[in-house]
């Protein structure tokens, strides 16, 4: 999530104080990703340094003091470009669950089936809570409903993926181990053909 572009987007709507920006952000995301005032202040300082926002009123060295922030021309261009730019899947962060299960599949001694079951139970509880929240959300609260729907679809997708993980691991256990490639043959006493009785008798007579 880009706090920088979220704040720019809110300022493109209207100039705001630091506290109002945090309030608008929480309201716009259904409080799914709450920001503390320190995050907002730090981000605004960086935006000001980069020439994307300016402060009107209040001391410039105290971003949390009263005073409104507004976009500069460069800030308006930046947020307009952000609206047009698709979000690459790779920019959405590393998924800890994917990394954990990938490691569990190769690290000895990890009970992958138990890990999967524990994760499934946790996701099912989360999905139940999200479904209840969406049911209780005001139908007119469009931002909250959109965010909750995204979380619900993501949880459902995680459950389907865990099913696939279990099936993949089961197929891997059923698959026979690959045959060892034959190495260079070495002769041993067991590999040496036994002499015939006739050959032994002939040598003894001689």
CA distance 135 to 149: 11
Residues 86 and 133 in one domain: no
Residue 16: DSSP 8-state = B
Residues 25 and 59 in one domain: yes
User: Is 164 among the domain residues?
Assistant: yes
CA distance 147 to 156: 14
Taking only Cα atoms into account, the Rg of the chain, rounded to an integer number of angstroms, comes to 33
Residues 101 and 84 in one domain: no
Residues 81 and 103 in one domain: no
Residues 33 and 20 in one domain: yes
User: Is 159 among the domain residues?
Assistant: yes
Q: Which residue from 7, 73, 16, 9 is spatially nearest to 40, judged by alpha carbons? A: 7
CA distance 74 to 85: 16
pLDDT score, position 174: 77
Residues 12 and 39 in one domain: yes
Distances (CA, A) of 124 to 18, 24, 32, 155, 158: 37, 30, 18, 8, 10
Concatenated DSSP letters of 136-199: HS-TT-HHHHHHHHHHHHHHHHHHHHHHHHHHHHHHHHHSPPPPPPP------TTTSPPPPHHH
Residues 58 and 106 in one domain: no
User: Is 193 among the domain residues?
Assistant: no
Residues 16 and 78 in one domain: yes
Q: Which residue from 34, 37, 44 is spatially nearest to 8, judged by alpha carbons? A: 44
Q: Which of 90, 115, 131 lies at the terminal end of a domain, its last residue?
A: 90
Give tens-digit pLDDT for 98-107. 888 888 887 8
Confirm if 71 and 48 have CB atoms less than 8 A apart: no
| Structure confidence at residue 29 as a pLDDT band (50, 70, 90) | confident
Q: Which of 72, 90, 108 lies at the terminal end of a domain, its last residue?
A: 90
pLDDT score, position 34: 77
Residues 86 and 8 in one domain: yes
CA distance 8 to 24: 12
Averaged pLDDT of the chain: 80
Give tens-digit pLDDT for 105-150. 878 888 888 899 999 999 999 999 999 989 988 888 888 889 889 9
Range of the domain at 27: 3-90
Domain count, the chain: 2
Residues 85 and 63 in one domain: yes
Q: Which residue from 173, 155, 170 is spatially nearest to 119, judged by alpha carbons? A: 155
Residue 52: DSSP 8-state = S
| Structure confidence at residue 89 as a pLDDT band (50, 70, 90) | low
Q: Can you give the pTM of this predicted structure? A: 0.61
Residues 110 and 122 in one domain: yes
User: Is 54 among the domain residues?
Assistant: yes
User: Is 73 among the domain residues?
Assistant: yes
């Amino acid at each position: 999530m880009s706090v920088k572009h979220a704040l720019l987007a809110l300022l493109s709507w209207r100039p705001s104080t630091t506290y109002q920006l945090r309030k608008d952000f929480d309201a716009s995301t259904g409080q799914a990703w709450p920001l503390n005032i320190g995050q907002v202040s730090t981000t605004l300082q960086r935006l000001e340094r980069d020439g994307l926002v300016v402060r009107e009123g209040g001391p410039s060295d105290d971003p949390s003091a009263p005073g409104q922030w507004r976009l500069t021309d460069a800030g308006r261009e930046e947020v307009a470009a952000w609206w047009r730019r698709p979000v690459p899947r790779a920019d959405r962060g590393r998924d800890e669950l994917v990394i954990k299960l990938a490691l569990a599949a190769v690290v000895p001694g990890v009970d992958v089936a138990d890990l999967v079951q524990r994760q499934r139970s946790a996701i099912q509880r989360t999905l139940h809570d999200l479904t209840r929240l969406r049911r209780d959300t005001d139908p007119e609260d469009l931002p909250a409903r959109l965010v909750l729907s995204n979380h619900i679809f993501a949880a459902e997708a995680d459950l389907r993926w865990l099913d696939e993980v279990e099936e993949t691991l089961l197929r891997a256990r059923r698959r026979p181990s690959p045959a060892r490639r034959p190495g260079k043959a070495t002769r041993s006493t067991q590999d040496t053909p036994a002499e015939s009785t006739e050959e032994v008798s002939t040598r003894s007579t001689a």
